Chain A
Amino acid sequence: MSMSRNRITTLIVGAGHPLAELMSELESQFSPPELPLLGVIDLDPEAKAAAGQNPGSDRISVLGHTLEDLSGDVAPELVVLAGCDEATRTALGRRLPDSLQLEHRSAPLLAIVTRLADENRALRADSRRLKEARLRLRQFVETAPLSIYIKDTDLRYRHLNQHALLLFGFDEESVVGKTDHTLFPSGNVRWLQNVEQETLRSGQTHYATGILPVRERETHVHVTLFPIVENQKIEGLYGLVEDTTDLFVSEQKLQQVDGQLDETQKYLREVLENSKDMIFLTDPQGRILTFNSGAENALGYPRDEVVGRPAHELCSTPGAFDKLFEEAILDGHATRYEAEFLDRNGDSIICNISLTKIDDHQGMPLEVVCLCRDITTRLRLKNDLIRSERLAAVGQMASGVAHEINNPLAVIDTIAGLVEETLAADAPQLAPETRDILMKSMNRLHYQVKRCTSITHSLLGFVRNTKTGMVKVDLEALLDECLNVLGIEIRRSRAEIVRMFSTELPTFISDPMLLQQVFVNLIKNALDAIAEVPDRAGVIEITTSGNGDHLTVTIQDNGVGIAKQEQEKVFDLFHTTKPAGRGTGLGLSIVHDILYRLGGSVRLVSEEGQWSRFVIELPMKPPETPLPDPTSMTF
């Protein structure tokens, strides 16, 4: 067999060559292992002569091989003819099989042999390298951390490497020659079979992914299939099997994590969406990206209308928002306690605003989260409280002063009356002009004392710690009573009173005496406002409405109205816009104070020169714990 790995060269030597000499020469030059490579056929003169007629003749002298050998099992790969004339070559050519390659060389015999020996040596080295390569390849196939199998065209296993055997859990003997069908009778391997058949049919590389029911567990595999082609014929296929079970499990885990992530995202989205606070996202340029329903409700804009617009358009002072936004971009976060937004109707909404920048993974600003809490109501309540406290402090001082002034006023008024009476009784002794001017003076003195009195008595009204008599109140009846009280003033002003009372208002619990003071003050105020626009027919509109929670009364007049900058101050103590001697600056302060104590509130909306509207809200029940009574202290 070792011979078959080398090229067998047969040298046919023509007549007249000294063979014995050659042999000894060869033995001296070549080591014995190299010699058998060379078969030498010597054609002696007779044989050479008879070669054409009798090839099997014994006269052909043979060294190593006979001529017949050349067509036998050990047929050489190359036959070199040395020193043969053309007739001999032709004759030999006829006798030797066509498959033999005949080569004629005409160099000296020794040179030819030496040359052939060299060629053989080179060939042997190649063969060794090839052998090593095959060994290495085999080693690789056997030890690679990859399962490799070979199947024949009937899809029977012909070979499996160690890894594959380990994967399948079989030894080689029990696998080779079997199909998957017999190996895995319980499992479904149809998916592999189909692709294998396709590979055999098409001669193309194919891939398949599926589950092999090996070693009693489901093993996820990815198989690469490519055909074995020999002599342009598909003889079978290679299968490279990757165990992807771990990958599959990780993927499943990943999917699970993804799912959890989705859940979290959904949850966060819901929190964002359902929050009553206004939440919106902007890009780093301040353009709105999303807008939650809290923002939709508070501002009255549908989402579609604001997305893409600059967020500062929603603010009353865009510049202030921009400044805050810049701060957030620079520092990552920015807050402001009171920022004013404008809703769709242009009404102001005071918000506590907080901006937070979110960076992308490269540290570049990605978006800004804007969180805004509507504190309009809270702020109003706070202002109410501040105002009430201020009223309390000023009121207490004022009532103290009023008390001190009341005594001297009483003296002045009494003396004025005495002078008046004396004048009337003793008139004849005075010149009529003197008497008239003195009478008139006393009259004015009375008037001025009354003016002072109206102030001091109003001031004392603050301190009147009325034991609030909480009873059921019928709002409509109460308002009508107030209109009755003011009957003379209303008729004098010729104002038209429009009553728009809700028909089905429930009775509520409050203090009717205090409420009467509130409504009388407000209607008086409306009459005064109307009086300042004499050429317009005065109208006072009184409406009532209610929901289950509170009642609302509005009192609107078409009088002089109040300038925007004055509106804030109307409830302040001693603040009046009425002409000197007409208003004390106390009425609305008292209204505010009383409503605050009853757990209600009053607001003013007005258009200068056009109209004013007071909106009074009253709770269905007074507050459980009485609000701090700012005027409970007495002097």
Chain B
Amino acid sequence: MRLGADPCRKNPGMTEDQPAIRLLIVDDEEDLATFLAHRLRNRGLLVTMALSGAEAVSAAHENTFDVAIVDLKMPDLDGITVMEEIRNLQPFTEILMLTGHGSHDSAWEAGRLQAFRYLLKPFDFDDLFDLILKAAEHRRKRMSAKFEDQLESLMSSTTSPRDLIEECEKLRREYEQE
């Protein structure tokens, strides 16, 4: 049974102790952004909408997102630039790139390497939802791996136990905020 096949499940794939996925939808096609946000909120996601590249970047300044769905082609900033801006602010945010276009130019190629996945419009909603969950899970894994790495390097460093505790506390706060 595919995830999300039952529209009544509000937040499938989420365990009790995990908070709702924070999602940013970036698309100049207002109808798509609006209705997609509506449906995803119905599935229990915390959705923020941005109708232009600039809006998306300012949203990323204000809030942290687990996943962002970004349209490749927008009038002000293209999707690749938007993705890079968000990544600069929030390195762990996973990007799902949406495009109505199949062309693979060099920007496409570059984007493909950075984005979690590319989706061709029109997409299957359930597929999209599935991908959002996978992207969020992927982000979580990346973060904990990084956290453990840093923790380990702190442990092996020569700082005093008091400093160490302080550093660990700092790191924990950092990641919790993320």
Interface of A toward B, CB cutoff 8 Å? 399, 402-404, 406-407, 409-415, 417-418, 420-421, 424-425, 449, 452-453, 457, 460-461, 463-467, 634-635
Contacts and interface: CB of A to CB of B under 8 A. Distances in A.
Given A410-B123, A424-B8, A464 B104 contact: yes
Given A406-B120, A424-B8, A425-B7, A414 B104 contact: no
**A contacts with B: majority SS:** helix
Contact of A409 (B36, B104, B122): B122
Contacts of B103: 399, 460, 463-465, 634-635
22 contacts: A404-B100, A406-B100, A407-B32, A410-B29, A410-B100, A410-B121, A411-B31, A413-B122, A413-B125, A414-B39, A415-B35, A417-B39, A418-B38, A421-B7, A424-B8, A452-B122, A457-B120, A460-B102, A463-B103, A464-B104, A634-B105, A635-B101
Interface of B: 7-8, 29, 31-32, 35-36, 38-39, 42, 100-105, 120-123, 125
Nearest to A409: B122
B121 A418 contact: no
A463 B103 CA distance: 6
Nearest to A465: B104
Given A406-B122, A407-B29, A418 B39 contact: yes
A410 B8 CA distance: 22
A399 B7 contact: no
Contacts of A407: 29, 32, 100, 121
B102 A410 contact: no
A460 B101 contact: yes
Given A403-B101, A410-B100, A634-B105, A417 B125 contact: yes
Nearest to B71: A407
Nearest to B29: A407
A410 B102 CA distance: 15
B36 A414 contact: yes
A414 B125 CA distance: 7
Leading 6 A-B pairs by shortest Cβ distance:
A460-B102, A406-B100, A410-B122, A421-B7, A410-B121, A634-B103
Contacts of B104: 464-467
Contacts of A461: 102
Contacts of A467: 104
Nearest to A415: B35
A410 B7 contact: no
Contacts of B120: 406, 457, 460
Given A407-B32, A421-B7, 12 more contacts: A406-B101, A409-B121, A410-B121, A410-B122, A411-B32, A412-B122, A417-B125, A418-B39, A424-B8, A453-B122, A465-B104, A465-B105
B126 to A, nearest CB: 8
Contacts of A463: 101-103
Given A414-B36, A415-B35, A420 B100 contact: no
